[in-house]
Structure formats: C-alpha cells, structure tokens
Amino acid sequence: AVAAGGKDAWKKHALEFLRASNYAGIAFGHAGCAAVHAMAYPLGGVHHIPHGQANQLMFADVMRKYQEKKPIGKLNQLEELLGAELDVEPVFSLENLYKLMDEVLKKDPLHEHGVTADELPVFAKNVIETQQRLLGNNYVELSEDDLLDIYRKAF
C-alpha cells in the first residue's frame, strides 16, 4: 500500500489488512499486550489520541528500550522474521519497520498531541500503578524510570 502511494492506496489491500487485524486480535487475546499498550492508555485517556495511534507513538521507543536492556534474546527472533519480510539484514529490521510505519502514519512527537513535559512523570507513575496486568507481559522488566525515559524519548 505504501509503495502504491496515495491516501487510499490501502483500499486495494483491505482484505489483507482485515485478515492481519484479525490475526493481531487473536494474538493479543492469546499472548496479551505489554508496555506499548500500557503506555498508550494515558495518551488516549488524557489527550484523546486514538488507541491505535497512541500505540504507534509508543512502539519504537518501547522496542528501543527493550533492545537497550536485553539485546540478545527472543527479540532476535523478531528481527530475523522482520528482516526476511523487509528484505534487510536482521540487525536493521526494526529500524526499517519504524520507517515503514512512519510512511503509513507519521510518528509525531508527543508534544505535538498536546502532551506536556510535566505530564510525563505522572503518566509513568500511573502506568506502573495501574497497568501491571500488561507490564507483566514485557520482554524485559521496565521500571518507572524506564517508562519515564521512554515517554521523554517520544516527547
């Protein structure tokens, strides 16, 4: 859809998007969600950013924190899969995914959505206090300071 260009280019792939969305829902229901979703909730609750877009705003920075904290592990399997799909070396796969995501929907800094710097520590604390159900599914344990660092990078 990105290669075809144009705002409505995705429509000719609508059935594939629907199938992918369905598989994602099944996967989420089976495996659960983690920090990306947990950190997206305050963005939607306070600033009314749609949940899918809020997830996209958090995704790359959460994944980069995962890489920073545990560069060797199951994350490498994801890099292998993405590398094959995106036709790049696995080490470059996540950054290439982020670029592709930006072509679909540009990742704006959080401040462009009305988020203020003062809210970031409040959001990090709130996520730690209210989203343990999701945070328990993380690739690595994330502290409140880690969450704050992620929010600041996305800011």
Domain boundaries, the chain: 33-154
pLDDT of residue 4: 81
pLDDT at 10 over 90: no
pLDDT of residue 91: 97
Backbone angles phi, psi at 58, to 5 degrees: -95, -25
Report the alpha-carbon distance of residue 144 to residue 131 in Å, rounded: 12
Residues 135 and 128 sit within 8 Å (Cβ to Cβ)? yes
Confidence (pTM): 0.91
pLDDT at 6 over 80: no
CB neighbourhood size of 51 (10 A): 13
pLDDT at 105 over 90: no
pLDDT of residue 2: 81
DSSP code for 138: -
pLDDT of residue 124: 98
The fourth-level CATH superfamily of domain 33-154 is Dehydroquinate synthase-like - alpha domain (1.20.1090.10)
CB neighbourhood size of 85 (10 A): 11
